[in-house]
Structure 1
Amino acid sequence: MKNNFIDFINIFCKSGNGGFGSSHIKKVRKLNKWIPDGGSGGKGGNIILLGTSHYRTFYHLKFKKHFIAESGYIGSRNNKTGLNGNDLYIKVPLGTIVKDNNKNILAEIILNQEKKILLEGGFGGKGSKILKHKMKFHSLSGIQTVGIWVTLELKILADIGIIGFPNVGKSTLLSIITNAKPKIGNFSFTTKQPNLGVMKYGYGKTYTIADIPGIIQNSHKGKGLGYFFLKHIERNSILLFLITSESQNTKIEYLILLNELNQFNPKLLNKKRLIVISKADLIQTKIIKQKIINDFKTEKIIFISSFTKEGILKLKQKLLQLINS
């Protein structure tokens, strides 16, 4: 389906107003006078963010962009406080960042079932019973809240991010070492959205791998698919640089990728890195393979072939080693 991957969206949020306090009075026959007995208003509902692993994007918010929580109810006679308005939960994928119009971060959701109050509901107004010594037979209205537009931005949470030029075999590799079933084709920009896969190891242990699309020279300037997906790399613990053996110069291609990350966010270069040369079955002689090894000098590289499965087991073992180090 087209446009299902939505990692940036604007929504309007407003917490509930506080309920009105009651100005009710009652007559006390024994004292032959009227006394205030109105209860306070209920508190307005909060806007609460709820992290859930069931969502991967903001697609579920595409057709509903206004979220208004229930207001508190009015107080009543006999000093009864009005009911509180129900909280309104907004379910978001893990890795969600919420910003206001000034780009200030209001909240961040990392964990499954994590809850954070985005907007607090208004407090209810005091009733005549509480105000009897100050404002006889009067009550106060509840706090009226103001809605705001916020931006939801998603940065995918994954242990490992696969980075490389288009058509180097990222999606194919992801499908081999995880349970993912990405769209695969032999042309540039087959992948137009990050794909996630889960790899199992040990007893009940897993780690996630993301295939990050659209990294080419000058991606940070908006070329190709642009910088829209570079932000997802910020949440990856390990960066797997996948370079095809068909490249005219594997080292230069690697340096181009490093430069794109550096231009986007220099901190990305501090992450753990692994260089993987794909399509090893196409390397015709050991001399060519040795030349590639010499080009990278001190940096260790792994040769793999998704077709013959050469090096796949070694790659998995190395990834586990990096994750646990």
Structure 2
Amino acid sequence: MFYDQAKIFVKGGDGGNGIVAFRREKYVPEGGPAGGDGGRGGSVIIIGNEGLRTLVDLRYQRHYKGTRGEHGMAKTMHGRGGEDRFLKVPIGTVIKDADTGEILADIVKEGQEAVVAKGGRGGRGNARFVSSLNRAPQLAEQGEPGEERWLELELKVLADVGLVGYPNVGKSTLIAAVSAARPKIANYPFTTLEPNLGVVRVEEGKSFVMADIPGLIEGAHEGVGLGHDFLRHTDRSRVLIHVLDMAGTEGRDPLDDFDVIQRELAMYKPQLVEKPMVIAANKMDLTEGEENLERLKAKIGEQYTIFPISAATSEGLKPLIWHVNTILEELGPVQAVEEEKVTHMDVRLKPEKEERFRIERDDEAVFVVTGKEVERHVAMTNFDQEESVVRLSRIFGKMGVDQALRDAGAKHGDPVKIGGLEFDFIEYGGDEEAEKGGDES
């Protein structure tokens, strides 16, 4: 069974906690702080692998997590970082955020990596919070939670040439005749339910990959007859061969077939009809082939190159293959995907400036503060340590969270929720600056 779609959950490992510790040495009655930092959590990384052909492995296991970083230790020893989790996918896999639909990465070559869930950084131990005013800090950070998200993976077959056309027009017979591919061939529609790939060898040192894309029917752009599942594989083909049944063995007019398939390609994605295309007028060994061929030439002969062939007898295949190879040589080397704007996760671009936090009021009159930065500070605060809580308050004061809550109408004692935790809004006598490094990301 060919699997070209999968939905998985990925989560980077949480960072290890920093610890509070002090030196305990003979003849050093008041040793300084010596709490080590926690290790960074392991990330989830998707990597391209040419040996894979489907996404079947990802359909049986749907949750993938990086390991957590080790906690810090005494004597300022840092915890070990967590191990990254690598997921292998076939070349041609597009990775999307399941919630937003944003394309996160496009795996187009062997070994290409995309970090899809970054591990959290380790929390800092108390040795990192020493200052001129606090020589023996009693606080340490918790590890940062790792990123998590649902992903949709979609495999689009990478091929130089794609065969398109109605079911049972002879696409499978054609690819079997010109390559070593051995697709299932039978005299009924939708024999092919998955793309078949074959390497077509033109001559020594010259070859290209051909994909037998399952048959399309009218309404395919709306999903009729597994239309979307079939059409997506035309995206990556550099040249299309439109195969027509010139004998009309299914009771259809080949000229009407041509119009329908062209319309479906255009309605699914307009740039598909702009790809180089040649016409394979198949089944010319049967009756009515010549008459329909003349009609076809009169209609589209000036726009497309037409090759009369018989895939069953191999008649006319050599000129077709040589012509397609010439087109591929004129197109030059394979270029990266141009149809879609892709942000590669392994290339860290400077993010656009966005608001640091947002304040809303829910149905229960609770002030809800959201934002990656404020939620991260809450998650990394150890609420069992008084100094850590005071530090969090100072950070929020410097960020402007306190004033924003006042502006939103919060009064002393009102409930405030941040990152799943609920607090009481407390009015202090005045704002204090966050300590050094308190608002670091």
Partner secondary structure for residue 2 of structure 2: coil
Query: Does 1:52 find its partner at 2:49?
Result: yes
Query: Match of 1:252, as an amino acid?
Result: D
| Deviation (angstroms), 1:84 | 0.7
Return the match for 1:258 from 262, 283, 301: 262
Q: Distance in 2 between matches of 1:265 and 1:43?
A: 43
Alignment of 1:1-325 (within 5 A): 4-100=1-97, 101-133=99-131, 136-247=137-248, 249-283=253-287, 289-298=293-302, 299-325=304-330
Q: Distance in 2 between matches of 1:170 and 1:285?
A: 17
Q: What TM-score, normalized to structure 2?
A: 0.70
Partner secondary structure for residue 258 of structure 1: helix
Query: Match of 1:251, as an amino acid?
Result: L
Identity of aligned residues (%): 34
Query: Match of 1:318, as an amino acid?
Result: H
After superposition, give the CA deviation of every residue in 1:50-83 in whole Å (9 maximum; x if it has no partner): 0111112111111100001101111112221111
Q: Distance in 2 between matches of 1:224 and 1:250?
A: 20
Q: Is the 8 A contact 1:73 1:85 kept in 2?
A: yes
Q: Distance in 2 between matches of 1:23 and 1:296?
A: 79
Q: Distance in 1 between matches of 2:181 and 2:78?
A: 53
Q: Flag structure 1 segments of 5+ consecutive residues without an equivalent.
A: none
Aligned CA distance change for structure 1 residues 284 and 220 (closer, same or farther; 3 Å): closer
Q: Distance in 2 between matches of 1:90 and 1:24?
A: 38
- Structure 1 counterpart of 2:400: none
Q: Distance in 2 between matches of 1:132 and 1:66?
A: 40
Q: Is the 8 A contact 1:28 1:35 kept in 2?
A: no
Q: RMSD of aligned C-alpha atoms?
A: 1.8
- How many residues are treated as equivalent by the alignment? 322
Q: Distance in 1 between matches of 2:159 and 2:165?
A: 16
| Deviation (angstroms), 1:222 | 2.5
Q: Distance in 1 between matches of 2:313 and 2:145?
A: 66
Partner secondary structure for residue 18 of structure 1: coil
Q: Distance in 1 between matches of 2:9 and 2:229?
A: 23
Q: Distance in 2 between matches of 1:74 and 1:273?
A: 60
Q: What TM-score, normalized to structure 1?
A: 0.93
After superposition, give the CA deviation of every residue in 1:90-136 in whole Å (9 maximum; x if it has no partner): 11111111111111111111111111111211000111222233561
Q: Is the 8 A contact 2:168 2:215 kept in 1?
A: no
| Deviation (angstroms), 1:34 | 2.6
Query: Match of 1:183, as an amino acid?
Result: K
Aligned CA distance change for structure 1 residues 285 and 29 (closer, same or farther; 3 Å): closer
Query: Match of 1:275, as an amino acid?
Result: I
Q: Is the 8 A contact 2:16 2:41 kept in 1?
A: yes
188-197 vs 25-34, greater mean Cα deviation: 25-34
After superposition, give the CA deviation of every residue in 1:146-198 in whole Å (9 maximum; x if it has no partner): 42211111111111110010101101111111221111110011011111112
Aligned CA distance change for structure 1 residues 103 and 289 (closer, same or farther; 3 Å): closer
Q: Is the 8 A contact 1:17 1:43 kept in 2?
A: yes
Aligned CA distance change for structure 1 residues 75 and 238 (closer, same or farther; 3 Å): same
| Deviation (angstroms), 1:200 | 2.7
Partner secondary structure for residue 94 of structure 2: strand
Aligned CA distance change for structure 1 residues 119 and 76 (closer, same or farther; 3 Å): same
280-289 vs 187-196, greater mean Cα deviation: 280-289
Query: Match of 1:190, as an amino acid?
Result: T
Q: Is the 8 A contact 2:266 2:272 kept in 1?
A: yes
224-233 vs 65-74, greater mean Cα deviation: 224-233
Aligned CA distance change for structure 1 residues 285 and 122 (closer, same or farther; 3 Å): closer
Aligned CA distance change for structure 1 residues 240 and 266 (closer, same or farther; 3 Å): same
Q: Distance in 2 between matches of 1:139 and 1:163?
A: 62
Q: Is the 8 A contact 1:39 1:82 kept in 2?
A: yes
Aligned CA distance change for structure 1 residues 284 and 164 (closer, same or farther; 3 Å): closer
Ranked by relative contact order (alpha carbons within 8 Å, sequence separation 6 or more), the top structure is 1
Q: Is the 8 A contact 1:283 1:289 kept in 2?
A: no
